[in-house]
Amino acid sequence: MTTAGNVIKCKAVVAWEPQQPVVIEEIEVDPPQANEVRIKIVSTSLCHSDLYCLSKVVDKEFFPVVLGHEAAGIVESVGPGVTEFQPGDKVIPLYLPQCGECRFCKSPKTNQCSCFPSILFRTRLGSKEMALAKSRFTCNGQKLRQFMGISTFSEYTVTHQMAVAKIDSDAPLDKVCLLGCGVCTGYGAAVNTAKVEPGSTCAVFGLGAVGLAAVMGCEAAGAKRIIVVDINPDKFEKAKEFGATDFVNPNDHNKPISQVLMEMTGGGVDYSLECVGDVECMRSALESCVKGWGVSVIVGLTDMQDVATRPLQLTSGRTWTGCLFGGFKGKDAVPKMVKDYLEKKLKLDEFISHTMTMDEINDAIDLMKQGKCIRTVMSVCPE
């Protein structure tokens, strides 16, 4: 029986309220409207951004919501006006759209798009009324917010065609789903935003999936020395697989970590990448850079506190910047990243520490809270 044009009843993970376990519910997914695509999600993974919203966002206006934004799937049907996709295409949903028409999309200087809020978590993708009006999800007669416009913790989702990347038909969806956020974010922060140069010295703060991807990016760019900073020494062996050369545990030192790195490198690193989402780490990462030309990139996510440093840190020639999605324009770059993986130019399998089903989402959340996983990939629907 064809599902095109019909409402689909399927399973989804619903967060009904903040700081509470999520619940597997049966929801209704509307058919795609003009310029929209309905996708059957095959694989999705849990990202720290999902956990951040579940544990840190206390604004009840944000709930109920279906989280998830790192996934891969197959186009089930398309709405009027969609010519780029057809049923059966393998795709990766994009939380950062690429309309191709706005000032930002036309500029090579950024991957921002005017169709995306400039302050992601403060605006919560607009007002609740606006978000729910655009949602294609309903549960027990109640509209559900679609997280980042895509909501991949669902067997089916609907999103605008500007937020979808078509990928190679040979791509294994349970691996390339990681390119929907974490791997592109860390890797691109090194190669696109920091623009790491051959022979340079880098420091990466935080060894989750994003940090490991940043290490991989630094190595791909030709860095000579890659110092990783984390309070969990068990992560160093995994970091070495991606190119790390030195490991620093802040708990082993009684001085600021920036001072430790200054002493290790004779004045500071050329590039630092903060992949934790902690404002003190952000400051440490900046102050670990060499004066004159050091570049520090904020990659980790937080919207809870201000970040600060003394002006002299910047007037002495350091650059402090940040990025979303590693600076990649998604519709252009994600298919190329998939190709690089298929050609064995990019690691993905090494990031996957656990595989589960979507029904085990609360177990995956617990693993991430305890720091016992890198990425947990959850199977959602069979191909």
pLDDT at 120: 38
In this prediction, residue 353 carries a pLDDT of: 95
Give me the chain's average pLDDT, please: 93
Under the banding of pLDDT at 50, 70 and 90, the label for residue 122 is: very low
Predicted confidence (pLDDT) per residue in 90-102, tens digit = 999 999 999 999 9
pLDDT at 131 over 80: no
Q: What value does the mean pLDDT take over residues 162-181?
A: 97
**241-294 tens-digit pLDDT:** 999 999 999 999 999 999 999 999 999 999 999 999 999 999 999 999 999 999
List pLDDT tens digits, range 185-214. Answer: 999 999 999 999 999 999 999 999 999 999
Tokens of 129: 């009324």
Q: Which helix (H) or strand (E) holds 44?
A: strand 36-45
Domain with CATH 3.90.180.10 in the chain: 8-17+59-180+348-379
Question: Is there a contact between 163 and 181 (Cβ–Cβ < 8 Å)?
Answer: no
Whether the Cβ atoms of residue 204 and residue 268 lie closer than 8 Å to each other = no
Domain with CATH 3.40.50.720 in the chain: 186-323
The first and second tokens of residue 299, run together, are 């990659």
Question: What share of the chain in percent tops pLDDT 90?
Answer: 83
Does pLDDT of 376 surpass 80? Answer: yes
Biggest distance spanned by C-alpha atoms of the chain: 68
Query: Does residue 118 carry a pLDDT above 50?
Result: no
CATH number given to 8-17+59-180+348-379? 3.90.180.10
Integer-rounded Cα radius of gyration of the chain: 21
Token couple for 110: 């950024």
pTM score of the predicted model: 0.93
Q: How deeply is 107 buried, as exposed, middle or buried, from its count of CB atoms within 10 A (0-12, 13-18, 19+)?
A: exposed
Matching residue, tokens 């004159």: 292
Cβ atoms 277, 301 nearer than 8 A: yes
Share of residues in the chain with pLDDT > 70 (%) = 95
Mean pLDDT of 4-28: 94
| pLDDT value of residue 307 | 93
For domain 186-323, give the CATH superfamily.
Answer: NAD(P)-binding Rossmann-like Domain (3.40.50.720)
Quick check: 61 pLDDT over 90?
no
